[in-house]
Amino acid sequence: MPRQATSNRDGADLVECFSSIQGEGILVGLRQVFLRFAGCNLNCTFCDTPGTAYIPKECLLEQTPGRRDFITVPNPVSCERVVSLIESWTAGWPGIHHSISVTGGEPLLHGAHLSVWLPRLRELLPIHLETNGTLPEALEPLIPHLDYIGMDIKLPSASGCPELWDEHEAFLKIAARTGVFVKVVVDQGTENWEVERSCAMIAAVDRAIPLILQPMTLADGGIPLSPLRMLEFQELAAGLKEVRVIPQTHKFMGQL
C-alpha cells in the first residue's frame, strides 16, 4: 500500500541525518552525509530502511559525524536546523565528506521542500539524490540543484512492485541531464528479460549511463545470488558501456 509523507510548509519529516560510508552504487566507499527523508510511494519486499513503513514523530540527528551520538528531535524538521548541523560538520571536519546523500524512503515525495533545501545544502557539499526513479514530475524542477542521481529500476521479480517501466523511462530521460547512474537489484528469481529490458531502456537514452547490478544483500552481508547468475546478468548488459556488479557493502562493513 502506498505510504505518504506528511510535511508542512515550515519543515520536512525526516528519519535521520548521519555521516557514514556510501555502501552501494557508483559512489561506493565515499564518505557522505546521509539525509534520510520519511515516507515512500512504493512497498518493496526487500526494503530494509527503518522508518519507511511509517512517518516517525521524531527523527535522529547525529551530533558528531560518524560517532553515532544521536539526539531525537520532533518532526517536521526545519531546513535551518539541518543546514546548521551539516555546516558545523563541514567547518569542524573539513574535507571528510564527499557529498550529501539525499535519500529515503523516497525523497522526491518532498519535492516542494527540496526546491528550497537543495540550493542551501549545495553551498556546503555536492548533492547526490538516491531515488526509486518513479516520480519524474517531481525530479524535473530539481535538476539544476543535483550533482549525482542514483535511480533504481525496480524489477517486479526482486522488488515485488508492479511493472514501472513507463515511470522509469520518463524519469531517466530527465535524469540524464545530470550525472545519473542506474541501480538494478537482482536476485535468484530475476528473469533475463527484466535485465535486458532495463538495458534497452538505458541504451535508448544513452548507453554511457553506468548500470550497477546490485545482488540482493542480506542483513548479515550474505548474497544468495549465485556467482554464475551474477556473471550471466552482467553479460546480458554488454550493450552498455559501463556495467558494475556491486552488493550493498555497508552491510558487511558494519556501517549504517
Is 218 a residue that touches ligand SF4 (CB under 6 A)? no
Single out the segment in contact with ligand SF4 by CB under 6 A; choices: 35-43, 56-64, 192-200, 243-251: 35-43
Closest CB to ligand SF4 among 25 and 65? 25
DSSP string, 93-138: STT---EEEEESS-GGGGHHHHHHHHHHHHTTS-EEEEE-S--HHH
Among 75, 132, 198, 214, binds ligand SF4 (CB under 6 A): 132
Give the residue, chosen from 47, 73, 223, 246, that forms a contact with ligand SF4 under the rule CB under 6 A. 47
Query: Toward ligand SF4, which CB reaches closer, 30 or 44?
Result: 44
Distance CA 245, CA 186 (A): 10
Element of type H or E holding 6: none
Span interacting with ligand SF4, options 4-12, 38-46, 62-70, 136-144, rule CB under 6 A? 38-46
Instruction: Give Rg (Cα) of the chain.
Output: 18
Among 21, 38, 42, 61, binds ligand SF4 (CB under 6 A): 42
Distant-in-sequence, close-in-space partners of 58: CB < 8 Å, separation ≥ 6: 72, 73, 74, 75
Is 28 among the residues that bind ligand SF4 (CB under 6 A)? no
What whole-number distance in Å separates Cα of residue 254 and Cα of residue 256?
7
Q: Which is nearer to ligand SF4, 65 or 134 (CB)?
A: 134
Complex with ligand SF4: residue 65 or 150, whichever CB lies closer:
150
Among 106, 171, 195, 211, contact with ligand SF4 (rule: CB under 6 A): 106
Residue in 51, 65, 104, 210 binding ligand SF4, rule: CB under 6 A: 104
Mode of pairing for the β-strands spanning 211-215 and 99-103: unpaired
Q: Measure the CA–CA gap between 164 and 37, rounded to whole angstroms.
A: 22
157 binds ligand SF4 (CB under 6 A): no
Q: Pairing state of beta strands 14-21 and 70-74?
A: unpaired
Residues that bind ligand SF4 (CB under 6 A): 40, 42-44, 47, 49, 52, 104-106, 132
